[in-house]
Amino acid sequence: MSKAPDLDPAQDAPDVRRPKHHAVGLPAVVNSVRFVGSQAGVKRGLPLLRDVNQTGGFDCPGCAWPEPGHRHPAEFCENGAKAVAEEGTRLRVAPEFFAAHSVADLADKSGYWLGQQGRLTEPVYLAEGANHYQSIGWDEAFALIASELAALDRPDDAAFYTSGRTSNEAAFLYQLFARKLGTNNLPDCSNMCHESSGAALAETIGIGKGSVTLDDLHEADLIIVAGQNPGTNHPRMLTALEKAKRAGARIATVNPLPEAGMQRFKNPQAARGFVGRGTELTDLFLQIKVGGDLALFSILNRMLLRADAIDHAFLDTHTHGFEAFAAHHGTGDDAAAMAEAVERTGLPEADIERLLAMVLTADKIVVCWAMGLTQHRHAVPTIREVVAFLLLRGNIGRPGAGVCPVRGHSNVQGDRTMGIWERMPDRFLDALGTEFDFAPPRDHGLDTVGTIRAMRDGDVKVFFAMGGNFVSASPDSAATEAAMRRCRLTVHVSTKLNRSHVVTGARALILPALGRTDIDVQGNGGSGREQFVTVEDSMGIVHASRGSVPALSPDMRSEVAIVTGLARAVFGPDDTVPWEDFAADYDRIRDRIERVVPGFADYNARARVPGGFALPHAPRDERVFPTATGKANFTVNPVTSPEAGPGRLLLQTLRSHDQFNTTIYGLDDRYRGIHDGRRVVFVNPDDAAELDLVDGAYCDLVSEWTDGDRRAPHFKIVHYPTARGCAAAYFPETNVLVPLDSVAETSNTPTSKSIVVRFEPDSGEPARAVEP
């Protein structure tokens, strides 16, 4: 085994133990408290844990899972506690830090190390040709951005990225700012995340959001969880699944990996969770091949049609396109087509029959999914077929049934509602233009992949990010980093240091923002009133979020204050939008949102109601489908799935238990038995035997694409019970392997869950060598 030099522990030497078969319970509680205490200390840690997800407190920055009406005094999970601790830390990146570390030096550090340095506390600037960031005043920073924007040939030479932590208020002002400037270039993390869900749902049911509430989950007879790992990424969902289970629901899990959280759950909020065996969640585990879900749902639909086990009344009244759909699926007698579809799932036929039997005996069905379905070339057809599956038996728009795309970032859904999208519909742009008396641009803007291409081609010259970690989260790390370096100016509004701050344009700015946990005081030069913001969860509930610890530095600003300060610098003193008023009192922003975005009537009053309010959702509430046809649409989705070819495996890139996207909390993935390292690749022992991949040996992963190979060096091989033909490894380390042009049809989402890879002996190349 060769080992690359100067690697920090994030990059090497994982220790492999036996994977777990249950999730949560006492170890998770201990971990939560320990983690918060070590990062934030007692003084900051206690209010943080007391207030997270409480009605008077702040929304957990961890994920978008909704809070139940009746909240538990500890309404958070282990990973929420990590998210809170990560943001609530006492550590700060002091001004001396940047004097001590050159940008080149920082570019050699892992993302884990960068994040551990503490909160960003003052604006810093990297001048052209300079090696170090240095302090800069806010006004000077805004003036600098304004002059770079003014120097562009066209507004479309700038792009404004958003990560899904941004509040509704900040997001609304941010998109207003970009559109007043004259561009719809508003790429966001959703482009890499649930864009496929939005595209499929908008086309089929008329709204790109999920149609279920927590009560629906609790009432369902059958819950299918496909392509999702809630034990790690939405741990509070397990509580809802447990509740459904106790009320008699059955749960089918569709996943190439046997994820611990879906096996047995020991609820940390209930005494029975501390001791005893916990609740067996999954009744039927379908160990599907990566990318096999379209085939699976296609088979189910075919069988339902053949058995005539469908809701004719619902189909007649509420749907469109059924004849073409039924004709496509034929009589279900085509044995060859059926055999091919079964082959694509990688499942034993008996498992599919078991699932069908569960479907036939369930009156109310919910399908939940996340990245395992959205990040494939055929993600949109897959989700359309899931919708068809639910439509066939009238499982949309009634209690206990519906679609449940489980969102990632805590306000990613709200950001979309507020207009963070490169292709907002005309009715939104009309209302925005009327409210603020300007003509918003109408041409669609660039999404994430489009922005990378445009930066690469020299078309986008100013890149501005409201949160996130663009270079690490995006596909094709080497291409993305090279693209970023071509910009004239890159600006990041951030809470923590990350790789996007050290792979920069000719000039760069880091602007330190308050996060969800920080108390936000505005007006009167900072001594005015405490503000709250609002967020929308995965189920369309909008509610208030108030910070609970004092900001670490008076030089940190709220995202709202940053957008409004910048807007004033860019648009000048005569601009008619009252930017300063908005910053001084967020109620005034909400008044404007109310007039532009449907569903926000009486926003300020309803945001103050404990628990918030639900946005209207016509398919769920009234079985009204605001699609082009006015009905729920069936679609025709020919069965397909990715194929690796001989000697190759399909690599899915996923999250460990100790990370939030590109933020690495720690080096363990406890449930999968990985400790003290992240560079592991999970392979099925039978595939390993065929490919001569020795357990514990090191290898390089090489992805194959039409434009050539991409290499990620030095991964430890772990024999693991994943589906045959598939492999798994963590992102962002593997983003270097995802080709920029390998994207989903329609949604343009990078295919992070199906990369064709071959294995080569460890080359000993340093892992960080992604530099062009």
Ligand X SMILES: Nc1nc2c(c(=O)[nH]1)N[C@H]1C(S)=C(S)[C@@H](COP(=O)(O)OP(=O)(O)OC[C@H]3O[C@@H](n4cnc5c(=O)[nH]c(N)nc54)[C@H](O)[C@@H]3O)O[C@H]1N2
From the list ligand X, Mo ion, none, partner contacted by residue 290 (C-beta under 5 to 8 A by kind): ligand X
From the list Mo ion, ligand X, none, partner contacted by residue 635 (C-beta under 5 to 8 A by kind): none
List strand residue ranges (DSSP E) for 513-648, in order. 520-522, 529-531, 533-536, 541-545, 613-614, 632-633
Q: Nearer Cβ to ligand X, position 498 or 684? A: 498
What is the closest distance, in whole angstroms, from the C-beta atom of residue 512 to ligand X in the complex?
9
d(CA 135, CA 179): 30
What is the closest distance, in whole angstroms, from the C-beta atom of residue 752 to ligand X in the complex?
3
d(CA 552, CA 568): 26
From the list Mo ion, ligand X, none, partner contacted by residue 228 (C-beta under 5 to 8 A by kind): ligand X
d(CA 296, CA 342): 7
From the list Mo ion, ligand X, none, partner contacted by residue 495 (C-beta under 5 to 8 A by kind): ligand X
Contact between residue 724 and residue 437 where contact means Cβ atoms under 8 Å apart: no
d(CA 549, CA 192): 32
What is the closest distance, in whole angstroms, from the C-beta atom of residue 431 to ligand X in the complex?
26
**Positive or negative torsion for Cα 158, 162, 166, 167:** positive
What is the closest distance, in whole angstroms, from the C-beta atom of residue 755 to ligand X in the complex?
8
Q: Nearer Cβ to ligand X, position 435 or 555? A: 555
From the list Mo ion, ligand X, none, partner contacted by residue 251 (C-beta under 5 to 8 A by kind): none
Tell me how crowded residue 643 is: count the other CB atoms within 10 A of its CB: 12
Q: Nearer Cβ to Mo ion, position 403 or 654? A: 654
Contact between residue 393 and residue 309 where contact means Cβ atoms under 8 Å apart: yes
Q: Nearer Cβ to ligand X, position 288 or 744? A: 288
From the list Mo ion, ligand X, none, partner contacted by residue 742 (C-beta under 5 to 8 A by kind): none
As to burial, measured by CB atoms within 10 angstroms (0-12 exposed, 13-18 middle, 19+ buried), residue 457 is exposed
What is the closest distance, in whole angstroms, from the C-beta atom of residue 521 to Mo ion in the complex?
31
What is the closest distance, in whole angstroms, from the C-beta atom of residue 64 to Mo ion in the complex?
9
Tell me how crowded residue 769 is: count the other CB atoms within 10 A of its CB: 11
From the list ligand X, Mo ion, none, partner contacted by residue 637 (C-beta under 5 to 8 A by kind): none
Strand 22-24 and strand 264-266: pairing? parallel
From the list Mo ion, ligand X, none, partner contacted by residue 517 (C-beta under 5 to 8 A by kind): none
Encode 477-513: b = buried (16+ Cβ within 10 Å), e = exposed.
Answer: bbbbbbbbbbbbbbbbbbbbbbbbbbbbbbbbbbbbb
Residue nearest to ligand X (CB): 408
Determine the distance from the C-alpha atom of residue 4 to the mean position of all C-alpha atoms in its chain, rounded to a whole number.
31
Of 310, 301, 230, nearest to 262 by C-alpha is 230
φ/ψ of residue 634, rounded to 5? -80, 150
Strand 541-545 and strand 284-286: pairing? unpaired
* Rounded alpha-carbon distances, angstroms, from residue 494 to 168, 355, 465, 467, 770: 17, 45, 8, 5, 23
What is the closest distance, in whole angstroms, from the C-beta atom of residue 661 to Mo ion in the complex?
7
What is the closest distance, in whole angstroms, from the C-beta atom of residue 614 to ligand X in the complex?
22
From the list ligand X, Mo ion, none, partner contacted by residue 654 (C-beta under 5 to 8 A by kind): ligand X
Strand 279-280 and strand 755-761: pairing? unpaired
As to burial, measured by CB atoms within 10 angstroms (0-12 exposed, 13-18 middle, 19+ buried), residue 641 is buried
Contact between residue 573 and residue 530 where contact means Cβ atoms under 8 Å apart: no
Q: Nearer Cβ to ligand X, position 211 or 752? A: 752
Residue with tokens 């997800």: 53
Q: Nearer Cβ to ligand X, position 54 or 472? A: 472
Q: Nearer Cβ to Mo ion, position 397 or 408? A: 408
From the list ligand X, Mo ion, none, partner contacted by residue 469 (C-beta under 5 to 8 A by kind): ligand X
Q: Nearer Cβ to ligand X, position 507 or 557? A: 557
From the list ligand X, Mo ion, none, partner contacted by residue 77 (C-beta under 5 to 8 A by kind): none
Of 198, 691, 588, 183, nearest to 416 by C-alpha is 198
Q: Nearer Cβ to ligand X, position 120 or 462? A: 120
Q: Nearer Cβ to Mo ion, position 370 or 487? A: 370
From the list ligand X, Mo ion, none, partner contacted by residue 44 (C-beta under 5 to 8 A by kind): none
From the list ligand X, Mo ion, none, partner contacted by residue 522 (C-beta under 5 to 8 A by kind): none
Q: Nearer Cβ to Mo ion, position 226 or 624? A: 226
Q: Nearer Cβ to Mo ion, position 346 or 408? A: 408
What is the closest distance, in whole angstroms, from the C-beta atom of residue 475 to ligand X in the complex?
7
Residue nearest to Mo ion (CB): 408
Q: Nearer Cβ to Mo ion, position 110 or 163? A: 163
Encode 565-578: b = buried (16+ Cβ within 10 Å), e = exposed.
Answer: bbbbbbbeeeeebe
Residues within the interface to ligand X (CB under 6 A): 61-63, 79, 163, 165, 189, 192-193, 226-229, 232-234, 254-257, 259, 288, 290-291, 293, 370-372, 375, 408-409, 466-470, 473, 493-496, 498, 513, 515-516, 559, 652-655, 659-663, 731, 734-735, 738, 752-753
What is the closest distance, in whole angstroms, from the C-beta atom of residue 517 to ligand X in the complex?
9
Q: Nearer Cβ to ligand X, position 286 or 326? A: 286
Residues within the interface to Mo ion (CB under 5 A): 193, 408
What is the closest distance, in whole angstroms, from the C-beta atom of residue 193 to Mo ion in the complex?
3
- Strand order through the sheet with 533-536: 533-536, 541-545, 613-614
End-to-end alpha carbon distance in the chain: 26
Residue with tokens 């071959």: 758
What is the closest distance, in whole angstroms, from the C-beta atom of residue 323 to Mo ion in the complex?
37
What is the closest distance, in whole angstroms, from the C-beta atom of residue 407 to Mo ion in the complex?
7
Q: Nearer Cβ to ligand X, position 62 or 440? A: 62
Can you spell out the DSSP letters for 295-342?
A: HHHHHHHHHHHHTT-S-HHHHHHHEE-HHHHHHHHTTS--HHHHHHHH
What is the closest distance, in whole angstroms, from the C-beta atom of residue 410 to Mo ion in the complex?
10
3-state helix, strand, coil in the chain (%, to 5): 40, 20, 40
From the list Mo ion, ligand X, none, partner contacted by residue 254 (C-beta under 5 to 8 A by kind): ligand X
Contact between residue 193 and residue 749 where contact means Cβ atoms under 8 Å apart: yes
From the list ligand X, Mo ion, none, partner contacted by residue 79 (C-beta under 5 to 8 A by kind): ligand X
From the list ligand X, Mo ion, none, partner contacted by residue 712 (C-beta under 5 to 8 A by kind): none
Q: Nearer Cβ to Mo ion, position 405 or 408? A: 408
Q: Nearer Cβ to ligand X, position 219 or 259? A: 259
What is the closest distance, in whole angstroms, from the C-beta atom of residue 595 to ligand X in the complex?
26
From the list Mo ion, ligand X, none, partner contacted by residue 731 (C-beta under 5 to 8 A by kind): ligand X
What is the closest distance, in whole angstroms, from the C-beta atom of residue 271 to ligand X in the complex?
25
Contacts of 188 (CB under 8 A, 6+ apart): 161, 162, 163, 164, 412, 415, 416, 420, 421, 448
What is the closest distance, in whole angstroms, from the C-beta atom of residue 412 to Mo ion in the complex?
6
List strand residue ranges (DSSP E) for 33-153, in order. 92-93, 119-120, 124-126, 134-135
* Rounded alpha-carbon distances, angstroms, from residue 243 to 193, 283, 756: 28, 15, 39
Per-residue tokens: 387 = 């919708």
